[in-house]
Amino acid sequence: MNDRQFKTKIFEHLARIGKAVSSPKRLELLDVLAQGPRTVEVLADETALTVANTSRHLRALHAARLVDAEKRGLFVTYRISDENVNVFLRNMRLLAESRLSDIERVMKEFLSNRPSMDKVDSETLLQRVRDGLVTVLDVRPAEEFRAGHIPGAVSVPLTELRKRLKTLPRNQEIVAYCRGPYCVLAIKAVELLRKEGYRAVRLESSVPDWRIRGFKVAYGDEEGE
């Protein structure tokens, strides 16, 4: 192998990652899988794809070693292959946000008819939790909460929020979070809470963001301190 062949082969393999994440739907699948393992059928429902198309995209991600697969009976469960994939996804998102003004424009357009959609950063939230000043709601599905959540958070899936409103304190600010800045679950939760007279804001960070930045993450049904 000469110098040129070496360079060509190395960059061909590096390009496999780029090709694997060149599809918007594959990025969305990875975004969901970052929250915890999922079957093909659940992923199809989450991303508005057919099961056949979901399987095709997942095979491409698996070929690039970005996801692992495990078959149990008739169902195949996929998961992020390791934490380096979550780090890569976060860095790619931050790079895109810093270089592509279209992302900010789309976010502003989406939030334009949702006035005062306040948000809180991770450091501020951590201090408020330590001071006992806020109630933190994880509004993702319960299985995502069990796969990893912010310590002290209470699992209240968005689908259950309305019927559980009476269990929430009115004398504390409520911070809702879900899967990250592009997830709408926390936005809808804050809208509902404010409509019902609660003081509510949203946390844009996801649990993988929280973990990557070195903050503690709780697992299972543990709510922690």
Element holding 91 (H helix, E strand): helix 83-99
The torsion angle over the Cα atoms of residues 100, 103, 109 and 112, rounded to 10 degrees, is -110
State the maximum Cα–Cα separation within the chain, in Å, rounded to a whole number.
71
What is the distance, to the nearest Å, from the Cα of residue 149 to the centroid of all Cα atoms in its chain? 11
- Sorted by sequence, the CB contacts under 8 Å of residue 168 that are 6+ apart come out as 135, 137, 156, 174, 193, 198
- Residues involved in catalysis: 178
Angle 176-152-120 (CA atoms, 0-180°, nearest 5)? 35
